[in-house]
């Protein structure tokens, strides 16, 4: 993104932020609470429109599109405060992720046309595949609301993967997780990256971020204050001041 | 639901067909068969409303309006132009779909209470229009002279009550099967995803506005189908049948039957159409009874009639000492 700026009324949430995410890398965005990290995600997901600036994806501007068109373009995300569909089972949640990969509509479904049958089978298969990837296949037919918080995070992860994205945006995937669950998240992110997906990560857990990221971008009060490898960022004075200053 | 063998899936439908086949023989009464025919007509609307309210999580307090548009449009074309009821019915469906689209696109941008108010307003507008149509219908209280359906030489008039019963329920079964297919598809999951989390749904590629309008139009078309059946089963239709009260009855049927489950529509329609017949007090104070039923179901059994087996299972497991020990672990 270039010179991205987002204002909410008089509050400048994102101020002239420019950064690039390299394909095939794991990039992290960190910063104190309220620094604008999730706002940037929402700008990429098109839930907000930028007040100024551009967002480019694969060399093309994408700021004008609608939120639901992002999945088709290969961008999938998870949500900081979990947006699980509690009225559906675990498997159904993940199958929703496959929505963008199929095309049958009301008529096709009502009449059970061949395209519908074929695509439904594929959707079921792919959803089970992703559930198995996060090791939750045994809970497939449970209502999503009955799972633990950590498991629900995994379901959201699987759901995002079901879109078969090129860019996976994770918003605080480790928050609220135990150490063991966090290790599993790290392992999953590595495996996803190995399959060629570019990963973006918003995260507060410094251990996780420094361990797995290739690049770290630091935001504070809506502005980019540092960028570089984990080690470089860790030793950056502005970064240390930002975190300590905001205690 | 997924991966179940196909014969298990077909059991409820088979059971319904068996019940419907036995009912006329058991009741043997022309009046009761007529009531059951009306149950069928309402079931069609309630299935559509269930898709809208139970699955997609939207609301409509004006669906009697679409019921009325379907009935009057088909009836008027039939009376004034003498066209066959089959043709006027198809025309009515197209017309109703168009109106539903025009109303739906702006209205479905609203949420919750605002959407409820908008649909309420729509229903009222239709009611007033229908009540002032005497210049067109020639009769201050409604539209007389409607011709019945016929297939070859078989006339489905009011004397042929068994024919009306069968025709109505054949249509219900067709609508039921189509709707069950829709719910077990990515479209059905899209509806429920919108209900569950609009944010996540759009993140996963679901065009919220498009699907909301789709389910709204679909439910309106179902109501119009019911309206056509209603009109051509009678010689005369009157505007009081399409009052707000009817819209409320329909929503009550959806809720009492069970949101989010197509079979709830069938159960809700059966219960609430029969209730006034069996208990005269219900007939006199029907709005009050519906209000109490709605509140009671929402508070005590929000899953509706369809959820009763689960409810019983939960109560039983809670009072059983073995289960209590297990839960304590």
pLDDT of B328: 44
Interchain CB distance below 8 Å, B205 and A124: no
Residue B293 lies in a domain: no
A38 lies within 8 A of chain B by CB:
no
For residue range A200-226, list pLDDT tens digits in order: 889 888 888 888 888 888 888 877 788
Q: Is A22 exposed, middle or buried (0-12, 13-18, 19+ CB in 10 A)?
A: exposed
Tally of domains within chain B: 1
With contacts defined as CB-CB under 8 Å, which chain A residues touch B2? Answer: 91, 124, 141
How much is the pTM? 0.89
Share of chain A above pLDDT 70, in %: 92
> Which residue on chain A is closest to B202 by alpha carbon?
A68
With contacts defined as CB-CB under 8 Å, which chain A residues touch B190? Answer: 96, 99
Residue B185 lies in a domain: yes
CATH number, domain with residue B61: 1.10.3470
Query: In terms of Cα–Cα distance, which of A194, A211, A192, A213 is closest to A202?
Result: A213
What's B54's DSSP letter?
I
pLDDT of B137: 76
With contacts defined as CB-CB under 8 Å, which chain A residues touch B207? Answer: 66, 68
Residue B153 lies in a domain: yes
With contacts defined as CB-CB under 8 Å, which chain B residues touch A118? Answer: none
Residue B16 lies in a domain: yes
Provide the mean pLDDT of chain A: 83
> Which residue on chain B is closest to A100 by alpha carbon?
B205
pLDDT of B210: 92
Tell me the pLDDT band of A91, cut-offs 50, 70 and 90: very high
**Looking at the predicted structure, is the pLDDT value of residue A56 above 80?**
no
Residue B62 lies in a domain: yes
pLDDT of B1: 47
Ranges of residues in chain B whose predicted pLDDT is under 70: 1-7, 281-283, 320-329
Q: Give every CB contact of residue A26 below 8 A, 6+ residues apart in sequence.
A: A189, A193, A199, A201, A212, A213, A214, A215
B203, containing H or E segment: helix B198-203
Tell me the pLDDT band of A25, cut-offs 50, 70 and 90: confident
Q: Is B12 exposed, middle or buried (0-12, 13-18, 19+ CB in 10 A)?
A: middle
> Could you give all domains of chain A from N- to C-terminal order, each with its CATH number?
1-74+166-182+198-247 (3.40.50.300), 86-163 (no CATH)
pLDDT of A9: 44
Per CB distance under 8 Å, which residues of B are interface residues toward A? 2-3, 178-179, 181-182, 184-190, 192-193, 195-197, 199-208, 214, 218, 260
Question: Nearest-CA distance from B205 to chain A in Å?
Answer: 4
pLDDT of B283: 66
Residue B183 lies in a domain: yes
Residue B306 lies in a domain: no
Q: Which of A81, A83, A94 to mutate to test the interface with B (most CBs of B within 10 A)?
A: A83
> Which residue on chain A is closest to B55 by alpha carbon?
A87
SS3 per-residue string spanning chain A:
CEEEEEEECCEEEEEEECCCCCCCCEEEEECCCCCCHHHHHHHHCCCCCCCEEECEECCEECCCCCCCHHHHHCEEECCCCCCCCCCCEHHHHHHHHHHHHCCCCHHHHHCCCHHHHHHHHHHHHHHHHHHHHCCCHHHCCCEHHHCCHHHHHHHHHHHHHHCCCCEEEEECCCCCCCHHHHHHHHHHHHHHHHCCCEEEEECCCHHHHHHHCCEEEEEECCEEEEEECHHHHHCCHHHHHHHHHCC
Domain limits for position B172: 11-279
**Looking at the predicted structure, is the pLDDT value of residue A247 above 50?**
no
Residue B313 lies in a domain: no
Q: Which of B48, B180, B186, B202 to mutate to test the interface with A (most CBs of A within 10 A)?
A: B186
pLDDT of A158: 92
Judged by CB atoms within 8 Å, which residues 50-109 of A form the interface with B?
66-72, 76-77, 79, 83-88, 91-92, 95-100, 102, 104-106, 108-109
Which of B196, B205, B207 lies closest to A85 in CB terms?
B196
Task: Specify whether the backbone of A62 is left (phi greater than 0), alpha (psi in -120 to 50) or beta.
Answer: alpha
For residue range A66-76, list pLDDT tens digits in order: 888 888 888 89
């Amino acid at each position: 993104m270039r010179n991205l700026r987002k204002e909410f009324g008089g509050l400048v949430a994102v101020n002239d932020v420019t950064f690039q995410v390299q394909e095939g890398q794991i990039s992290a965005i960190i910063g104190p609470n309220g620094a604008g990290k999730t706002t940037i995600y929402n700008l990429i997901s098109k839930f907000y429109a930028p007040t100024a600036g551009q967002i480019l994806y694969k060399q093309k501007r994408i700021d004008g599109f609608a939120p639901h068109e992002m999945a088709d373009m290969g961008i999938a995300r998870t949500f900081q405060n979990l947006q699980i569909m509690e009225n559906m089972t675990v498997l159904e949640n993940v199958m929703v992720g496959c929505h963008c990969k199929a095309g049958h509509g009301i008529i096709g479904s009502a009449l059970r046309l061949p395209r519908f049958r074929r695509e439904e089978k594929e959707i079921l298969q792919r959803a089970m595949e992703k559930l198995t990837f996060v090791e939750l296949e045994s809970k497939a037919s449970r209502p999503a609301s009955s799972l633990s918080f950590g498991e629900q995070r995994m379901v959201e992860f699987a759901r995002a993967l079901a879109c078969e994205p090129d860019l996976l945006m994770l918003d605080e995937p480790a928050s609220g997780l135990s150490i063991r669950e966090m290790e599993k998240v790290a392992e999953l992110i590595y495996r996803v990256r190995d399959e060629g997906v570019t990963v973006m990560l918003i995260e507060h857990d410094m251990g996780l971020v420094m361990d797995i990221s290739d690049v770290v971008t630091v935001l504070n009060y809506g502005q980019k204050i540092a960028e570089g490898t984990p080690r470089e960022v860790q030793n950056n004075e502005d970064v240390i001041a930002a975190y300590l200053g905001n205690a | 639901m997924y991966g179940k063998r196909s014969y298990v899936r077909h059991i409820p439908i088979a059971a319904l067909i068996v019940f419907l086949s036995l009912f006329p023989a058991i009741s043997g009464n022309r009046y009761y068969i007529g009531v059951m025919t009306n149950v069928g007509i309402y079931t069609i609307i309630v299935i559509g409303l269930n898709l809208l309210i139970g699955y997609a999580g939207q609301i409509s307090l004006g669906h009697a309006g679409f019921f009325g548009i379907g009935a009057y449009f088909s009836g008027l074309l039939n009376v004034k132009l003498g066209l066959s009821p089959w043709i006027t019915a198809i025309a009515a469906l197209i017309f109703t779909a168009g109106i539903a689209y025009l109303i739906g696109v702006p209205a479905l941008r609203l949420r919750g209470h605002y959407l409820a108010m908008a649909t309420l307003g729509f229903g009222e507008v239709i009611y007033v229009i229908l009540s002032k149509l005497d210049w067109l219908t020639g009769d201050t209280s409604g539209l007389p002279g409607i011709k019945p359906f016929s297939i070859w030489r078989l006339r489905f008039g009011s004397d042929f009550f068994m024919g009306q019963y069968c025709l109505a329920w054949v249509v219900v079964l067709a609508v039921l099967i189509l709707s069950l297919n829709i719910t077990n598809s990515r479209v059905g999951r899209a509806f429920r995803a919108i209900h569950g989390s609009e944010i996540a749904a759009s993140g996963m590629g679901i065009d919220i506005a498009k699907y909301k309008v789709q389910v709204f139009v679909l439910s309106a078309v179902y109501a119009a189908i019911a309206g056509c059946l209603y009109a051509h089963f009678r010689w005369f239709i009157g505007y009081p049948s399409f009052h707000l009260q009817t819209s409320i009855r329909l929503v009550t049927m959806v809720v009492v039957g069970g949101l989010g489950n197509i079979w709830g529509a069938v159960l809700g329609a059966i219960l609430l159409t029969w209730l006034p017949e069996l208990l005269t007090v219900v007939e006199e104070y029907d709005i009050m009874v519906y209000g109490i039923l709605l509140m009671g179901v929402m508070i005590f059994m929000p899953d509706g009639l369809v959820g009763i087996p689960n409810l019983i299972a939960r109560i039983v497991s809670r009072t059983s000492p073995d289960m209590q020990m297990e839960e304590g672990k």
